[in-house]
Amino acid sequence: MTTISVARVRPAALDDDRLRALAETYRIDGDVVRTEEAFALVGTEATLVHGGPGNRLAGVTTLVDTVRGIAAADPEKDHPEPLPAEKALGMTAELTERFGLGPAVARFDGVRLESSIDATVVHAVRFDGKERTRFAAKTDVRGRVTLDGIPVTGPRAGVSATFLDDDRPLRLMATTWDAVELDHEAELVEEGEVIERVLEAARHRKERRGTHLEVASSVLAYWAAPYGGGADLLEPSWFIELAHPADEYGNDGPKQMVRVSATR
């Protein structure tokens, strides 16, 4: 029998001084609202929110620019060149280190937690009615977290940010845990068994739409789900991508991602 670790996370409850300092760095000068579940500072140009331990986004710090946006750019003018990937990466790393944000600050016990971040310039296409022009639209920073070498994914995993043409992020999300601890070991459901179960369930859909489904990919990962009460666990899951057959013209059929528990 193969087993897998099930980890428990303890979301960080950041103190007011640290959150205010973060807000001042990005010139967010609005009113502060604090409840048992969240801290929010709403400014005229940006909003900062941190989810407390009882919040569905417990441990997640979110910074959103409420004025600027990619779609707001004037289509008649050249789009401003976004921040280079290396600079966006450095800005995000400096920000998370200075304010103690992200999974890298967590203590871990009984499991091995590792994290890293990378950045890439994302391109878009503008069509003026005559021709299509490809241009650099934004720079995205994405964190990667692994637990015992297995990826951690979900709305409460890692760090992500989007930059335009300066060092102020258009959007920043960082999940911060005080600790990640081994909760228990569980039996791992093998990949082949999970795929067989998913395909069998699909075959019984109405109108037999699942009859010709194929598995495009399958990945084992920990699911950092919105907090729903009780122990805050990272749930081992299989993510199965199902592909429908191509249509009569040879166009790829739709795909669907299914998450299935990887333990019993």
pLDDT tens-place string over residues 34-76: 888 898 998 888 999 999 988 999 999 999 998 887 765 555 6
Q: Do 114 and 128 reside in the same domain of the chain?
A: yes
Please tell me the predicted confidence (pLDDT) of residue 207. 54
Q: Domain ends where: 120, 147, 182?
A: 182
Does one domain contain both 142 and 15? yes
Q: CA triplet 18, 105, 234: central angle to 5 degrees?
A: 115
User: What does the alpha-carbon distance between residue 9 and residue 177 come to, in Å, rounded to a whole number?
Assistant: 6
Q: How far apart are CA 216 and CA 195, in angstroms?
A: 11
* Residue ranges, the chain, pLDDT below 50: 208, 210
Host domain of residue 236: 186-261
- pLDDT value, residue 86: 97
pLDDT digits (tens, 9 = 90+) for 79-91: 788 999 999 999 9
DSSP state of 84: P
Boundary residue ending a domain (182, 210, 240): 182
Specify whether the CB–CB gap between 253 and 244 falls below 8 A. yes
So what's the pLDDT on residue 48?
A: 94
Nearest-angstrom CA–CA distance, 77 and 148 = 48
* Amino acid type, 241: E
Residues 153 and 195 occupy one common structural domain: no
Sign, CA dihedral 255-201-264-190, equals negative
pLDDT at 248: 79
* Residue at which a domain ends, from 182, 217, 245: 182
Q: What is the pLDDT of residue 75?
A: 57
- In angstroms, the CA 261 to CA 237 distance is 5
Is 167 found in the same domain as 205? no
Number of domains in the chain: 2
Which amino acid belongs to residue 214? E
Query: Is residue 16 domain-shared with residue 112, that is, in the same domain?
Result: yes
Residue 152 near residue 112 (C-beta atoms within 8 A)? no
Residue 117 and residue 217 share a domain: no
Query: What are the E-state strand segments in 128-232?
Result: 132-147, 150-153, 159-163, 169-175, 177-187, 214-223
**Pair 5, 147: CB distance under 8 Å:** yes
Same domain assignment for residues 227 and 209:
yes
Give the per-residue pLDDT at 189: 97
Q: Does residue 175 share a domain with residue 217?
A: no
